[in-house]
């Protein structure tokens, strides 16, 4: 499988959101990445259901919704109704992870688990077969535009080992500080999906930047 590119709309111009969505639609991007923050689990607040409904109205590609919120299990059905195709929850925010993952799958969404930079990938050993993807945070969650954490490469390698050991089909997604300088190394390390925010939306030519991110080979 060729790697996927998921531009993060957190870095988009919300004053021209429809135009930004249409840009992603016409680009080689594969998914829209949506960061939902509650100001409790992370020290920032982003957007909720009305904005996701709006994005879903115009998006022609799957919505990859990353929940940086406490007790995400309370809102699974609502995110499905809002248009989420992929729903990822933080390992650190969920008490009953197996139950939550299967509640997401029961709503016919792909289910993923997110790991903060300090969280060991081997904590997922008993659930990796149930996961469609694992999202590795390569910055501390909460704000866009942070510096990439170099230990991410090693972490991807360890997760890849676990996936192969368990004969799982889980995809590896990376979010935080992804750009044209490190994308190729991330793919070669084993990443299947790259989330890029500022690298895309702050570039002079976002469509061209997405094409370049897509063209890297493993």
Q: Per-domain residue ranges for the chain?
A: 4-215
* Strand, coil or helix: 133: strand
Strand order in the sheet with 133-137: 4-7, 193-196, 171-175, 133-137, 110-115, 86-90, 63-68, 32-37
pLDDT along the chain (218 residues), means of 10: 93 97 98 96 94 98 98 97 98 97 98 97 97 96 78 97 98 96 96 97 98 90
Active-site residue, selected from the candidate residues 30, 64, 85, 175: 175
Q: CA 88, CA 110: separation in Å to the nearest integer?
A: 8
In this prediction, residue 46 carries a pLDDT of 94
For position 37, what pLDDT does the model report?
96
Cβ neighbours around 204 below 10 Å, total: 6
Catalytic residue among 35, 64, 85, 132: 35
Report phi then psi at 34, rounded to 5: -120, 120
Looking at residue 143, what is its pLDDT? 67
Q: What is the rounded distance in angstroms from the CA atom of residue 96 to the CA atom of residue 99?
A: 6
List, in sequence order, every beta strand (DSSP E) within 86-179. 86-90, 110-115, 133-137, 171-175
Catalytic: 175?
yes
Q: Is 55 exposed, middle or buried (0-12, 13-18, 19+ CB in 10 A)?
A: buried
pTM: 0.96
Annotated catalytic, 130? no
* Joined tokens for residue 84: 């989420």
Q: End-to-end CA distance of the chain, in Å?
A: 10
For the 4-215 domain, the top CATH level (class) is: alpha beta
């Amino acid at each position: 499988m060729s790697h996927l590119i998921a531009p993060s709309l957190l870095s988009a111009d919300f004053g021209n959101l429809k135009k930004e969505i249409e840009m992603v639609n016409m680009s080689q991007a594969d998914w829209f990445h949506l960061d939902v923050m509650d100001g409790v689990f992370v020290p920032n607040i982003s957007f909720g259901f009305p904005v996701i409904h709006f994005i879903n109205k115009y998006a022609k590609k799957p919505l990859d919704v990353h929940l940086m919120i406490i007790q995400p299990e309370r809102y699974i059905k609502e995110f499905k109704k809002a248009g989420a195709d992929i729903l990822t929850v933080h390992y650190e925010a969920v008490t009953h992870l197996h139950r939550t993952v299967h509640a997401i799958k029961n709503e016919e969404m792909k289910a993923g688990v997110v790991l903060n930079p300090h969280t060991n990938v081997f904590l997922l050993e008993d659930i990796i077969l149930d996961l469609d993807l694992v999202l590795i945070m390569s910055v501390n969650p909460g704000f866009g535009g942070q510096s990439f954490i170099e230990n991410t490469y090693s972490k991807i390698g360890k997760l890849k080992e676990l996936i192969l050991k368990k004969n799982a089909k889980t995809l590896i997604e990376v979010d935080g500080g992804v750009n044209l300088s490190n994308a190729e190394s991330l793919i070669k390390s084993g990443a299947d999906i790259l989330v890029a925010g500022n690298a895309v939306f702050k570039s002079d030519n976002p469509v061209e930047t997405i094409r370049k991110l897509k063209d890297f080979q493993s």
